[in-house]
Structure 1
Amino acid sequence: MAATTTRIIARETRDAELPKGIVHRFALTAVQDHTDLNVGFHKALKTWETSTGGELYHFPITDSPKLLEFDGDIRPYFHEDVRETLIYKHRVRLVPDLLVLTDAGVNPASSKPLQSFLTANVGRSVIIPAVQIALESLPRMFTADPAFAMTTGCCTVPNYKSGPAGKAASLNHQYGALIVEIDSDGAIFPRHVQPDETGAFQDLDRVYLSNGEVRDKERVWGISWGDLQHAFADEAIYTASFGWSPKQRRKVTDDNILDALRPYYSFLEDTNEFRLRGHHNIKDPHFRTSVLQEGTVEDEIAAAVAFVNALDRPLTETIVKESNHDLFLARWLKSPEGRIDPENAAYWHELNGVLHRSLGGKHPINIVEHAMRRAGLSDTVVYLPCGESYVVGDVENGLHGHQGLNGSNGTTTTFSKIGFKTNTGHGHAPTISGGSYRSGASCVRDRGFNVGGLTTEAPGHIVHYMTGGRALLLLQPDGRHRACGELACRSGNPRLAA
């Protein structure tokens, strides 16, 4: 008897043909066949749809591959409340740089939903319907704009086959949706949302409830900012994120993410760059000559401290997380280079004197914190030494990300395998993998020693919502983190599921 096979149907890719010059908003989520909805979450998504003028769409997932290759109407296999907005007969290209791979066919139990689809849109952004929430920055040429592969999350209850894989998947089931805003100039802004136990979810400063209510101007629990590396501050990203102009060294606007979202906790990654005497170029005579007019190590630390003090808000706890770039100061103090460095020798000897005098005691001084406090770091700013825990809700924020397991380098793969959620920085490539979220960068991409070739670096911050969910805010080069143009009217959009 011949073995039965599942034939693969070539799905058409349909251009959404969105009208230009206005904003378009979509909420995209996956639904499993023969499975009930998370009713509260689905109602909250409908609240979002009604209040924003956006459009909610559903994409099929199944553990039966034959269903997605069936050439007929598969809608009867799915919950009646999603059938009219279920897209399955064609792939959707929302804009030239964003493809929704509706027929990806990721098994609901898959723990690595992006693995086979990173190149599905030829290096441009792609969305994969899947239960697990995941995001990865895609490799590209150094000067090219960022692109991402990302999943949707789902709004159906756990329904897995028996066995170890199904039991593991049920423990890691993730309710969620991907909000996609397309600005009037075509710029893309994707953000994940996740519900609390009632189904309510927060997106930026608005909370959407299952009863149709919307709460405005809500604070967020915390923000983990993309690596700062202040000496390489990106003017547009810093201004949009904090209202701070690195060039003018002052706050220039109240229209910024920090003041809009008003986090209870503000985590600063890689605050100092330690550019002037970093190990990347300390032995480069050409570099040393080029920065002669830029001041001293002490000046660089003082500039970073002035920036941190400007971020401090009365109702926000500002936390400087000691990171690998901060620790470059301690590395420099161990090098004999400093004692014969005309511009920095006095500072090098002073800090070494403080450090050596403390080493015989029970509690040696943290020399990086000492240098920052000496430069005027506010007493209200918390300095978190490397490796100390700082938990907000159920998320560990104490790890910068440069230190991994047993002395190895840190990776999102490592952090995704531990038994608690983490927010980290360090990699400059925004990533979501299991319970591990990694922010991007707030500094410029070209930092002298890393020019050329391929990159995955991109600006981005982690937002932790009061409802418990987290999202990556992916910023455009001009600093935008959300669509800013005129809201699209629903009647102006062609129905994607038609």
Structure 2
Amino acid sequence: MTEIAVDELQKDVEAYMATGGNRSAAARLRKLPRKTYNNRLEIAQKKLGIQLGKVVDGRVDYVKAVKRPLPKGKSVARYILSSVQNNTHPHPGFANLEAYAGWLRAFGSCEVILGSYSYALDAYGAKAVKRGSYEKAADRGALGKLWYAPELEPYINDDSIELAPGLVWCGEMNILPTAANPLTGLEDYNGRKSNIIPHAKHALASVASLADEAAKFNYATGTVTQRNYIQKRVGIMAERKHSYGGLLVEVDAEGNWYVRQLQIGAKGEVYDIGPSGYRGVRIAGGKVESVKITDAPSRTFLEAITWGDIHAAEMEVWVRHLGWGKGGMLDQLAPRKQFWHDVFSMRSRSHHELKNFHRTFEKWATGEGNVEDEVQVTADFATEGHRAWLETIVVRSNHDRHLDTWLNIAKIERDPENARYYALLQHQVLAAIEDGNRDFNVLEWALRRAGIPKGVRFLGEDESYVICKSRDFVGIECGLHGDLGPNGSRGSTRSLKKLGRPANKAHDHQATWMDDTLSAGACSTRFPYMKGPGAHSISHIGTFENGARQILTFWAGKFRA
């Protein structure tokens, strides 16, 4: 190793002092990589006989992000982002993330960035754990020293970086791994920009916006270091929520960005839908196995797509084309199953508007007030959206039940346009009641009459549908819409956590990842009943064959860069 001149080491120390002890800023001032600069400071302290500590406290401005340049032409910039805990070994699956980053570099740049967080290791010891469960300090090294796994250190970047317009890597964040929701209180962090927070959990929260701008997303990354918690209640519970993996960010030349989760499986494997032109990739043992979209649909890693609420009559045309049109996301990713929520909207005669004369007149004037026409529009979508090579499941949802509500409360003598169709449906419902058929679904009957494919399956009220179940995994519940919660409570992402099983749901129209419960968005962001700020997004849940999941969002006519 070349010996560093004393005057150069003095300049390193001067940079440290000039930046108030900020090593990242000092490294930039010296135009050195942060790791190289830190090593030189260690040498300087020994050679110059000094000890560097905190120089000064306080700053005038808050931490501001450094902007990354956008890729040029048709190239795509990619980032794999995760977090690391101090004094903790890496998960073996990190090697698969490294292998994936190397594979992706054939399609453009791909940088691995890890954010560090610290946890109170000084609280370990006889008073914090059960007897005999902790080795002597001498066997583990000095507990008072903060260190990070040497194989992870080259990737650590605790700076604030704007990866793309409106998307910030918040490396400066240091949130306890035991935090129940690491995104609490960050709704206004960095204003309207979306944030990626290094943390031991995967999490996603949508932040409301007005109708003329996109929803803001706050993400938490998951981690690539092993479980290492104080063995008391909070720490023991946090162990169960510890989420291995990271996030993949794709940025195109126009500044559009796409974020999806990379979860490390029980055997260290990682799944992703892959770059454009690919159906999916699986990384295991440091090797990447890929499937292209030109391969037969049977070659797929994706178990299911849970689409955001459909609302066929209100769906935006570009969303329908990107999702289910020829060569759209369904054809590209070829899942084995797809789940539809709120496939029917009942926009034509919503019970929320039956007493609103102006809205009823508006529907008559625009030709949107005919219930049978809306049923036919929904059936036409179902015919276009189904494929012979997959299973399509319609989840019983609140908007689907709006048809039942109409048949219960409508004053049909005031609605001649729908009177004959009302009578037809009412006859079917009353006949089912007489026959004791409590499972009769009038919407299914109406859609079958309108010609939807036989392969479309309708779930009954409260009917379970679990995917990815195995001997070692309880599976993921996909039969709940999300409007009804346990024990008569209202449905929500938080209440469905009480099921004791991971769940994919919809209903809220906003993408959410909270522990093991995920919520999809909707297939439109402009509903006539929406007023005020909303967090709606066109987001869907992809579930791989091992139970790993991603939230995929449509933006600028694409779902990936």
TM > 0.5: yes
Are 1:61 and 2:131 matched, yes or no? no
Look up the match of 1:383: 458
1: CA distance, partners of 2:91 / 2:289: 19
Determine the C-alpha separation between the residues in 2 that align with 1:283 and 1:116.
40
Paired amino acid for 2:405: R
RMSD: 2.1
Q: Is the 8 A contact 1:42 1:210 kept in 2?
A: no
CA 55–299 in structure 1, closer or farther in 2 if over 3 Å, else same:
same
2:187 aligns with 118
Give the secondary-structure state (helix, strand or coil) at the position aligned to 1:184.
coil
Is structure 2 residue 101 aligned with structure 1 residue 49? yes
CA contact 2:71–2:251 (8 Å) conserved in 1:
no
2:140 match: none
Whether the aligned pair in 1 keeps the contact of 2:223 and 2:245 (CA below 8 Å) is yes
Name the aligned partner's letter for residue 336 of structure 2.
Answer: Y
- The partner residue of 2:558 within 449, 456, 480 is 480
How far does residue 19 in structure 1 lie from its aligned partner after superposition?
A: 4.3
- 2:24 corresponds to: none
Is residue 447 of structure 1 aligned with residue 527 of structure 2?
Answer: yes
SS state of the match for residue 216, structure 1?
A: strand
Cα pair 2:103 2:288 within 8 Å, conserved: no
- More deviation, 467-476/333-342: 333-342
Match status 1:304 vs 2:375:
no
Match in the other structure for 1:34: 87
Residue 7 of structure 1, CA deviation: 6.7
User: Following the alignment from structure 1 to structure 2, what is the Cα–Cα distance between the partners of residues 427 and 349?
Assistant: 33
| Matched residue, 2:13 | none
Preserved contact between residue 322 and residue 385 of structure 1 (Cα < 8 Å): yes
| Alpha carbons 1:47, 1:212 under 8 Å: kept | yes
1:212 equivalent to 2:284? Answer no
Question: Matches of 1:441 and 1:296 in 2, distance apart?
Answer: 23
- For residues 9-44 of structure 1, give each alpha carbon's deviation from its aligned partner in whole angstroms, at most 9, with x where no partner exists: 7655322234454421000011111111111x1111
Secondary structure, in 3 states, of the residue corresponding to 2:83? strand
Deviation at 1:149, TM superposition (A): 0.3
* Residues 1:338 and 1:137: Cα distance change in structure 2 (over 3 Å): same
Partner of 1:406: 487
Of residues 283-292 and 329-338 in structure 1, the stretch that sits farther from structure 2 once superposed is: 283-292
1:462–1:471 CA contact under 8 A, matched in 2: yes
1:167 maps onto 2:236 in alignment: yes
Are the counterparts in 2 of residues 241 and 479 from structure 1 also a CA contact under 8 Å?
no
Q: 2:317 matched to 1:317?
A: no
Equivalence for 1:274 = 346
From the superposition, tell whether residues 157 and 349 of structure 1 become closer, same or farther in structure 2 (CA, over 3 Å).
Answer: same
Counterparts of 1:397-476 in structure 2 under 5 Å?
A: 397-443=478-524, 445-451=525-531, 453-476=532-555
Q: CA deviation at 1:265?
A: 0.9
How much has 1:287 moved relative to structure 2? 2.5
Matched position secondary structure for 1:241: helix
- 1:79 matched to 2:149: yes
Which residue matches 1:493?
A: none
Q: C-alpha distance in 2, partners of 1:258/1:429?
A: 21
Contact 1:221 1:464 (8 Å CA) reproduced: yes
Choose which of 233, 252, 257 in structure 1 pairs with 2:315.
233
Q: Name the CA shift for 1:395/1:446 in 2 (closer, same or farther; >3 Å).
A: same
Change (3 A) 1:224 1:44: same
Instruction: Tell me the distance in 1 between the aligned counterparts of 2:79 and 2:508.
Output: 29
Pick closer, same or farther for the CA change 1:86–1:76 going to 2, 3 Å: farther
376-385 vs 388-397, greater mean Cα deviation: 376-385
User: Alpha-carbon deviations, 1:151-202, whole Å to 9, x = none?
Assistant: 0000111011121111111122210110001111101100001122221211
**Alignment-mate amino acid for residue 189 of structure 2:** A
Q: Which amino acid aligns with 1:257?
A: M
Matches within 5 A, 1:250-399: 254-292=326-364, 293-294=367-368, 296-364=370-438, 365-393=440-468, 394-399=475-480
Segments of structure 1 that go 5 or more residues without pairing to the other structure are 1-5, 67-73, 244-253, 484-498
**In structure 2, distance between residues paired with 1:136 and 1:475:** 16
User: Greater helix share, 1 or 2?
Assistant: 2
CA distance in 1, matches of 2:234, 2:115: 23
Query: 2: CA distance between counterparts of 1:398 and 1:7?
Result: 54
Correspondence for 1:70:
none
Partner of 1:69: none
1:256, CA displacement in angstroms? Answer: 0.8
Structure 1 residue 116: deviation in Å? 2.9
Instruction: Give the structure, 1 or 2, with the largest relative contact order (CA under 8 Å, sep 6 or more).
Output: 1
The count of corresponding residues between Structure 1 and Structure 2 is: 456
CA distance in 2, matches of 1:311, 1:151: 33
For the pair 1:154 / 2:223, whether they are aligned, the reply is yes
Q: Distance in 2 between matches of 1:213 and 1:302?
A: 45
Secondary structure at the counterpart of residue 376 of structure 2: helix
Partner of 2:15: none
2-side partners of 1:287 and 1:12: how far apart? 48
Q: Which residue is equivalent to 1:246? A: none
Task: Report the TM-score, using the length of structure 2 for normalisation.
Answer: 0.78
| Contact 2:309–2:509 (8 Å) recurs in 1 | yes
Q: Displacement of 1:75 after TM fit?
A: 11
Q: 1:362 to 1:280 in 2, by over 3 A?
A: closer
CA contact (8 A) 2:264 2:270 kept: yes
Equivalent-residue separation in structure 2 for 1:37 and 1:307 (angstroms):
47
Alignment-mate amino acid for residue 288 of structure 2:
E
Greater radius of gyration (CA): 2
**CA offset at residue 8 of structure 1?**
7.3
CA distance in structure 2 between the aligned counterparts of 1:390 and 1:191, rounded to whole angstroms: 25
User: 2:267 aligned to 173, 194, 198, which one?
Assistant: 198
